Structure 1
Amino acid sequence: MVNVLFVCLGNICRSPMAEAVLRHKVAQQQLSGQITVDSAGTGDWHIGKLPHEGTRRILDLHGISYLDMMARLVSGDDFDKFQYIVCMDQSNGVNVRKLPGGDKRELMYFMDLLPEEELREVPDPYFTGNFEQVYDLINAGCDVLLDRIRSEKLQQA
């Protein structure tokens, strides 16, 4: 089983959008028994809340479920559970590294999946309001990540 964790600040915009999009792609490719996807935040303001209404709106528009998704904090325990920890920006990567064991863990940055893009961090639509732009980046990046998982992990199993 390959486990993927997306991390952003409050776990209500970017990381749950990425979780929902990748789950959708995994299900479409009939890989649900081989890949699990989760998300978490580095800040505790929204713990237990649903994804942001802008995230829900864009996911609804694309027919992607966010059922049972609730904001949670990233923890040191996640280092044992997830092979891929994907941070939406550098600030969240710094905060993940501060967790016990975080300094020894390899992290990914989402925009590294899209080297052709000028942006190096996924913009936070909580502040920008541009959920469409974030969805487009996440949709493209999740395709690349899924291809990477298929080549790196699933073929080894």
Structure 2
Amino acid sequence: MHTEINAAVGIVRTVARPDWSWDASELATNCRELTWSAPSRSDASTRVATNLRINRPEAFVHIEDGAVWEMMVWVSDIEEPDYRGPSPAVSGFEAILARIIVEFGEPSQDLFDEVWGYRWDLSNTVAFLIAREDGIFLDLVNPEVQKKWDA
């Protein structure tokens, strides 16, 4: 399983910047900044092609009320649903985790009651690193939306 370690950290770094906009009208600009394909339209749930060298290079973007609420992006190859071997995601997950900790500090929360993952509450995004049996993904959430979800 190939994991895009540097790209994963770069995505979090870009979205965490203070000038990152969660306004839906900026989605095409933000995608170009990440060197992803700009979506042809911005529906409530938009699929965006990324530049990651994995077998499913795409992100899913949720838009509501004129704002991007959440972006979920795969950062590793995705195993087929019938794959039954040991999860190859472990080493890639640990490598991404170590790099994110170096850059952004210890996670705000571990999610082991719910999934295998961690959460960072950064100033301009809430970043989740999650591993499942089929792959590793980042879930990047608009901090204003996350406040509502946490309430």
Instruction: Give the TM interval when normalised to the shorter protein.
Output: under 0.3
- TM (norm. structure 1) is 0.27
Larger RCO: Structure 1 or Structure 2 (Cα < 8 Å, ≥ 6 residues apart)? Answer: 1
Question: Higher helix proportion, which one?
Answer: 1
Question: Higher strand proportion, which one?
Answer: 2
- TM (norm. structure 2) is 0.28
